[in-house]
Chains A and B, each alone.
Chain A
Amino acid sequence: EVKLLESGGGLVQPGGSLKLSCAASGFDFSRYWMSWVRQAPGKGLEWIGEINPDSSTINYTPSLKDKFIISRDNAKNTLYLQMSKVRSEDTALYYCARRAATSWFAYWGQGTLVTVSA
């Protein structure tokens, strides 16, 4: 069974940094593109970016590429999202998702909540 478990969320001050993790199990993590998607409270879904299996290609949504860094450790079956210079509008539930090639998002974690507040 495919499982994705995000962690690392919490309260962070404006301008601060936070690193999220997503532990994957139930599939060969090293073969799949992985993405981060966020959802602000009561709002819709926003794709943050993705990383290919060997980390040679990382794509970001243009408005976030200077704030967020996506990485992965295939030996640990873990996906990461390094967040920096956070602002109140970064308050959201952050999901990791397994993407089928570069198409749909087939599997999602339950998300980890990041709250940006002083």
Chain B
Amino acid sequence: DIVLTQSPASLAVSLGQRATISCRASQSVSTSSYSYMHWYQQKPGQPPKLLIKYASNLESGVPARFSGSGSGTDFTLNIHPVEEEDTATYYCQHSWEIPPTFGSGTKLEIK
């Protein structure tokens, strides 16, 4: 199975500043055309919500302050400027092979 390692496990960011979350895959999940990495936001008591697909494509309805980048084994989710409502846990997920796996999550707190 492909292991996705997220860092940091938690972070606190001041309102209006930038939050950067990293996801490293144990093997490449990219081709020359696509990167099979996706990002989710999960707030307490709610199911995950898709934010970004194919590493950098914003899901419809997701605010433009969310952005994704990366390829190969290293991927990043950026949130700028952070807002109070961004308090949540964020997960990466690959779809390179079966089974699709998730990162362990990054808990974001807004100061």
Chain A interface residues (CB < 8 Å from chain B): 44-47, 59-62, 95, 97, 100, 102-106, 108-111
Contacts and interface: CB of A to CB of B under 8 A. Distances in A.
A93 to B, nearest CB: 9
Interface string B24-37: 00000000000010
A103 B40 CA distance: 13
A59 B98 CA distance: 8
Interface string B13-43: 0000000000000000000000010101000
Contacts of A111: 47
Interface string B98-111: 11111111000000
Contact of A45 (B1, B46, B50, B102): B102
Contact of A104 (B53, B101, B105): B53
A47 B48 contact: no
B95 interface: yes
B75 interface: no
A74 B50 CA distance: 25
A37 to B, nearest CB: 8
B66 interface: no
Contact of B105 (A44, A59, A60, A97): A44
Contacts of B40: 105
Given A62-B99, A95-B47, A105-B50, A44 B38 contact: no
Contact of B47 (A44, A61, A103, A109): A109
Contact of B50 (A47, A59, A104, A110): A104
A104 B95 contact: yes
A50 B71 CA distance: 26
A104 B102 contact: no
Contacts of A45: 48, 91, 93, 102, 105
B102 A59 contact: no
Contacts of A106: 50, 59
A116 B99 CA distance: 25
9 contacts: A44-B91, A46-B102, A95-B47, A100-B53, A103-B95, A104-B38, A105-B48, A105-B50, A108-B49
